[in-house]
Structure 1
């Protein structure tokens, strides 16, 4: 079995990931490396992996390095060990399907084999913690921007928000969110949408945006459908030194910071309209 890893600069990661998923629609493994670098890896037998020139072209000017290594035959079992359950705020228990449920916590099952984003990354955990702390008003809709595997949207539905919707540029993520929502017994309306080129952003009273800085700035520039900013926006995917810039970008839409949390080098913001 071969592991093909592409290392790119963090600021270009979302754009590169979109291109890589066209070549490897089954999903990629994502790892933070030192020095502001993100590594995306895919696994396969010789001849099953994307061609190296195509991978290099997909990464473009963001490419730092391409590394191929042989992995042991038990890589699938070790990959499962990498995905462990996490507890969020004493309320949610996010787990892969091969782990048992927690008797005392709200169960959320995410299949990491379908798309990236199972809840373990600092940015996703921060979003989930802030979401779990929100009071749920009556008939309060949610929009998950860049929904990935659907973990944030599904958590919102489990916590009582509704209706819940999500958008993502990648068709594989749209499918994964729909499948994971069905597996969890909740309803999430999900469709394909390009946050960079799609125009005004679909909105709801609560918007979840676990996106890297460039995409968050795209959302702030594009504005929201019918000029109607959400009442609350939870933004993550940020390095701590980027948080002030993102807060200022959304302040132009009347959204002002009311909470900030950090984990390692990452930050998440709660932005609200008065």
Structure 2
């Protein structure tokens, strides 16, 4: 079993277990509603368009015991016989890991960069400084960059009331604030740490007026009090998107634009069907590798859920990486 920790960085704050996997295994992990593992699971394509070269990283607060390692290994049968790499992480490790190799990302009017790679804004555009930390969302994942492109493509349209559900680091809410400076912008996340990261990032980028809310789901009373929204953004995961479709449709204004991401192309049909059941129509698709960004239109009438929302599937909703 491999272990890695720099002695000079001090005691471990958290731990990571890494194993190779296949794309099929990664898709199964991403699609699962409840894996009953007390860890944050992330899958990554290591070699572009190679179905066999993916990686599973499991992050947890305590050093993994034999039971935890066995549970993680069970998710990736293709890694049988491969020793998991267990890495102790400190706060300094997280910063180093998050910044390594993160060159600026350019999408339309936006450039997203870290402190390690400062850059100028494009003409008529906006540079956003987003350093990775306790929340996901540096703009370097295809889902986030795809959402930036989708929002940029909507720049000529007018929106007055915008919500970013599962905001992560706030990058999509900040982009919306730049594109529609007169709009009311709400950014929510289930994780209080992510909301605090967004607050700090707003200050670092001189973004004001974004209303930050810690909320489990989209029908939190503070969110519904500000509804309906004519632009709804949700960059989370396929499972939560399906589970939350009635909630997201319920806070959308008639004919509102809904931008969805965090899903694999293989999961598109399931997500689209869940929103179709709520009166929403697919209008545009941006396919980026295995990931898909969707733009939908809400129905002509305000959607009213037939029953109370089902929270199943919300765990791990804040992807935004």
- Fold in common (TM above 0.5): yes
How many residue pairs are counted as aligned between the two chains? Answer: 258
> What's 2:116 paired with?
98
* Equivalent pair of 1:195/1:218 in contact (CA under 8 Å): no
Aligned runs of 1:162-241 on 2, under 5 Å? 162-187=183-208, 188-195=210-217, 202=224, 204-222=229-247, 224-225=249-250, 228=253, 231-241=256-266
> What's 1:39 paired with?
56
- Kindly provide the CA deviation profile for residues 169-218 of structure 1, in whole angstroms up to 9, marking residues without a partner as x: 11111111111112111132122112399699755210111121101011
**How far apart are the structure 1 equivalents of 2:135 and 2:39?**
12
Q: Residue 82 of structure 1: CA displacement?
A: 2.5
Distance 1:192 1:158, change over 3 A: same
* Greater C-alpha radius of gyration: 2
Aligned runs of 1:60-75 on 2, under 5 Å? 63-64=75-76, 67-69=85-87
* Equivalent pair of 1:210/1:236 in contact (CA under 8 Å): yes
Distance 1:111 1:62, change over 3 A: farther
Stretch moving more, 148-157 or 187-196: 187-196
**How far apart are the structure 2 equivalents of 1:62 and 1:209?**
30
Q: Residue 106 of structure 1: CA displacement?
A: 1.3
**How far apart are the structure 2 equivalents of 1:17 and 1:157?**
38
**How far apart are the structure 2 equivalents of 1:62 and 1:129?**
37
Q: Residue 84 of structure 1: CA displacement?
A: 1.8
Distance 1:242 1:79, change over 3 A: closer
Q: Secondary structure at the match of 1:52?
A: coil
Q: Residue 4 of structure 1: CA displacement?
A: 2.0
Pairing 1:56–2:76 present = no
**How far apart are the structure 2 equivalents of 1:88 and 1:257?**
22
**How far apart are the structure 2 equivalents of 1:11 and 1:158?**
33
Q: Residue 31 of structure 1: CA displacement?
A: 3.3
* Equivalent pair of 1:206/1:232 in contact (CA under 8 Å): yes
> What's 1:131 paired with?
151
**How far apart are the structure 1 equivalents of 2:67 and 2:200?**
28
Which ranges of structure 2 fall in alignment gaps of 5 or more residues? 6-14, 20-25, 301-321
Stretch moving more, 77-86 or 213-222: 77-86
Q: Secondary structure at the match of 2:207?
A: coil
**How far apart are the structure 1 equivalents of 2:37 and 2:126?**
32
| TM-score (normalised: structure 2) | 0.66
Q: 1:113 aligns with which of 130, 133, 138?
A: 133
Distance 1:39 1:200, change over 3 A: farther
Q: Residue 229 of structure 1: CA displacement?
A: 5.9
* Equivalent pair of 2:237/2:263 in contact (CA under 8 Å): yes
Q: 2:281 aligns with which of 253, 256, 271?
A: 256
> What's 1:25 paired with?
none
**How far apart are the structure 2 equivalents of 1:36 and 1:229?**
43
Q: Secondary structure at the match of 1:84?
A: coil
* Equivalent pair of 2:173/2:186 in contact (CA under 8 Å): yes
Alignment RMSD (CA, Å): 3.9
**How far apart are the structure 1 equivalents of 2:193 and 2:99?**
20
